[in-house]
């Protein structure tokens, strides 16, 4: 059985606290929302953060509402909520369909739209256990020097795997980014 390694769990009460924590903890920290990608990857040694800053329960990341420019979708909304939202289903059916196509109901209940947009790239040589990757000699995406798919390549060729990102791009969506300065 693959086990989660030890880590420090930070549970901010506001978006401001979360951005401050991420800035203070630096590259050894990662944000986690639903955790459906982060936790399996920690078990497989693909992600090795010492600290996780939880975005669950941040009310600033919740809500789906109409604005004068269009529709505002909180990054912390679950894929289930996005796929079932009345206005999204009516005005942006492709997005509702994409969110509803992700994996299984359990995963859509935990997984968020923010996490889906930022989900890690996929590759058959990378999405394996630590032991498997160690046996083939690791690749440059994590712990190795070369790309095992294309050894002559100077960059990783793993592909985007998000179901909602291509639809959001085609709809001309805009992402709002926040850091500790605002
Ligand atoms: C068995 C299985 C099947 C899957 N099938 C699919 C599929 O069919 N289609 C698909 O698209 N995906 C699939 N996934 C991937 C993943 O579950 C989904 O993409 C999910 O939406 C990720 O959301 P999350 O909230 O769990 O993200 P997390 O795992 O919490 O985070 C994912 C990444 O996003 C970052 N992040 C999350 N929220 C924010 C935020 N608000 N601001 C900044 N950074 C943030 C995290 O730091 C991390 O880098 C699958 C995963 C598993 C385990
Ligand atoms: S470096 Fe090559 S082998 Fe490794 S994840 Fe990227 S594409 Fe796959």
Q: What's the pTM?
A: 0.97
Distances (CA, A) of 122 to 75, 119, 147, 148, 182: 21, 9, 13, 13, 31
Ligand 2-lining residues (CB < 6 angstroms): 123, 125-126, 139-141, 147-149, 156-158
High-pLDDT (> 90) share of the chain, %: 98
pLDDT (0 to 100) of residue 151: 96
Ligand 1 nearest atom to the CA of residue 107, by list position: 17
Tokens representing 158 are: 């793993």
Contact predicate 72/63, CB 8 Å:
yes
Tokens representing 63 are: 């809500």
Cβ of 153: how many Cβ atoms within 10 Å?
A: 12
Q: What is the DSSP letter of 159?
A: B
pLDDT (0 to 100) of residue 100: 98
Measure CA 172 to chain center: 20
Q: Is the pLDDT of residue 69 over 90?
A: no
Ligand 1 centroid to residue 35 C-alpha, Å:
7
Ligand 1 centroid to residue 111 C-alpha, Å:
6
Q: Which residues pair with 30 in a beta bridge?
A: 52
From the CA of 138, the nearest ligand is 2
Average pLDDT over residues 123-129: 97
Q: In the structure, what pLDDT confidence band is assigned to residue 17 with cuts at 50, 70 and 90?
A: very high
User: Could you give the CA distance from residue 77 to residue 63 in angstroms, rounded to a whole number?
Assistant: 7
Cβ of 9: how many Cβ atoms within 10 Å?
A: 9
């Amino acid at each position: 059985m693959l086990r989660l390694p030890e880590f420090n769990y930070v549970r901010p009460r506001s978006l401001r606290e979360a951005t401050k924590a991420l800035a203070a903890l630096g590259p050894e920290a990662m944000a986690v929302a639903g955790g459906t990608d982060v936790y399996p990857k920690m078990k497989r040694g693909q992600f090795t953060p010492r600290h996780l800053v939880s975005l669950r329960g941040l009310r600033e990341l919740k809500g789906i509402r109409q604005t004068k420019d269009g529709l505002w979708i909180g990054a912390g909304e679950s894929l289930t909520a996005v796929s079932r939202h009345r206005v999204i289903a009516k005005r942006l059916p492709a997005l509702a369909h994409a969110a509803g196509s992700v994996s299984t109901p359990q995963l859509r209940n935990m997984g968020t739209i923010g996490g889906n947009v930022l989900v890690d790239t996929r590759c058959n040589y990378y999405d394996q256990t630590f032991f498997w990757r160690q046996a083939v000699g690791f690749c440059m995406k994590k712990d190795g020097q070369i790309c095992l798919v294309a050894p002559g390549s100077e960059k990783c060729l793993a592909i985007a795997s998000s179901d909602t990102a291509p639809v959001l791009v085609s709809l001309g969506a805009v992402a709002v980014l926040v850091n500790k300065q605002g």
